[in-house]
Amino acid sequence: MKGNIVDLAVAVVIGGAFGAIVSSLVDDVITPLLLTPALEAVGASNIAELHWGLVKYGNFLAAIIKFIVIAFVLFLVIKGMNATKKEEVAVLVAPPVPTNEEKLLTEIRDALRSQNRS
Q: Which domains occur in the chain, in start order?
A: 5-117 (1.10.1200)
Query: What confidence score (pLDDT) does residue 99 get?
Result: 92
Short-list 77, 55, 69, CA closest to 27: 69
Query: What confidence score (pLDDT) does residue 30 get?
Result: 81
Query: In whole angstroms, how large is the CA radius of gyration of the chain?
Result: 30
DSSP-derived secondary structure letter, 49: G
pLDDT of the chain along its 118 residues, tens only? 556 788 888 888 888 888 889 888 888 888 788 777 777 777 777 777 788 888 888 888 888 988 998 889 889 988 888 888 766 666 666 778 889 999 999 999 999 999 888 6
Could you tell me which residues come within 8 angstroms of residue 86 by beta carbon, excluding any fewer than 6 positions away? none
Query: What confidence score (pLDDT) does residue 104 get?
Result: 94
Query: What confidence score (pLDDT) does residue 74 get?
Result: 86
DSSP-derived secondary structure letter, 29: I
